[in-house]
Amino acid sequence: MRITCPHCGARDAQEFTYLGAADPQRPDGMAATEAAMFDYVYLRENPAGPHRELWYHGAGCHAWLVVTRDTRTHAISAVEPAKNRKAGAAA
């Protein structure tokens, strides 16, 4: 596979580390419930189709990326820095 890092350009997948689904949001703070945290830590969708997932460009710019990949074909339709997404959502 190749992933086009928004900072570095198209790179071999060897440069990246996979983490998993990008959309679960960590329940932050002392008010978070154990149940919500359990969901965040363990429960994942497993779609056959487009999947937003986290990849870490550890051998490049060290950016965590949200990669939208079709799990059936590996076709990648979008790559964006995870940092921008959260900052954008908060704004």
Partner 1 sequence: MSGQPFRLASGGLIDRAQALDFSFDGKSYRGFAGDTLASALLANGVRLVGRSFKYHRPRGVLSAGPEEPNALVELRSGARREPNTRATVVELFDGLEAASQNRWPSLAFDLLSLNGLLSPALVAGFYYKTFMWPAAFWEKLYEPLIRRAAGLGRAAGLEDPDHYDKAFAFCDMLVIGGGPTGLAAALAAGRSGARVILCDEDFRLGGRLLAEKREIDGKPAAEWLAAALAELESLPEVRIMPRTTIFGLYDHGIYGAVERVGDHLPEPAPRQPRQRGWRIYAKRAILAAGALERPVVFPGNDTPGVMLAGAVRTYVNRYGVLPGRETVLFTAGDDGWATARDIAAAGGKVAAIVDARSDADPVRKGLADKLGARLFVGGVIEGASGGRQLAGVTIRDASGATSSVTCDLLAVSNGWNPTLHLTSHQNGKPVWDDDLHCFVPGTLPAGLSVAGSAAGRFTLAQALEDGARLGREAVAEAGLTPAGAEPVPATDPETAALQPVWRVKGAKGKAFVDYQNDVTDKDVELAAREGFRPVEHLKRYTTLGMATDQGKTSNLAGLAIMAEQTGKTIPQTGSTTFRPPYTPVAIGALAGHHRGKDFRLTRLAPTHGWSKEQGAVFIESGPWLRAQYYPKPGESDWLTTVNREVLAVRSGVGICDVSTLGKIDIQGADAAEFLERVYTNGWKALPVGKARYGLMLREDGFVMDDGTTSGLGESHFLMTTTTANAGKVMQHLEFCHQVLWPEFDVRMVSVSEQWAQASIAGPKARETLRGVLDPEHDISNEAFPYLAARAVTVGGGIPARLFRISFSGELAYELAVPAGYGDAMMRALMRAGAPFGITPYGIEALGVMRVEKGHVAGNELNGQTTARDLGLGKMMSSKKDYIGRLMAQRAALAEKDRPSFVGFKPVDPAQRLRAGAHFIGIGQAAAMENDEGYMTSVAYSPHLKHWMGLGLIKGGAARIGERVRAYDPVRNGDIVVEICSPVFVDPEGARLHG
Partner 2 sequence: MAETAISWAPRSAWAGIAQAGSFGASGEAGVTATLLDGFGLATLIAGPHATAALSRLVEVKLGLALPRAPKIVSGATHDAIWVGPEQWLLRAASRDGFQPLLAELAPHAAVSDQSDARAALRLSGRRVRDMLAKGVMLDLHPAAFAVGDAAATIIAYIGVQLGRLPDGPDGAVFEIMLPRSMAGSFWSWFAASAAEFGCAVSVA
Q: Which two tokens stand for residue 24?
A: 């679960």
Q: Is 37 in the site for partner 1 (CB under 8 A)?
A: yes
Q: Write the DSSP symbol of residue 15.
A: G
Smallest distance, Å, CB 44 to partner 1?
Answer: 13
Cβ atoms 24, 45 nearer than 8 A: no
Q: Which two tokens stand for residue 84?
A: 């921008």
Of the candidates 73, 80, 72, the residue with the CA atom closest to the CA atom of residue 55: 80
Q: Is 90 in the site for partner 2 (CB under 8 A)?
A: no
Nearest to partner 1 of 47, 72 (CB atom): 72
Can you give the binding site for partner 1, defined by CB under 8 A? 1-2, 12, 17, 19, 26, 28-30, 32-34, 37-38, 40-42, 54, 56, 58, 62-64, 73-76, 81-83, 86-87, 90
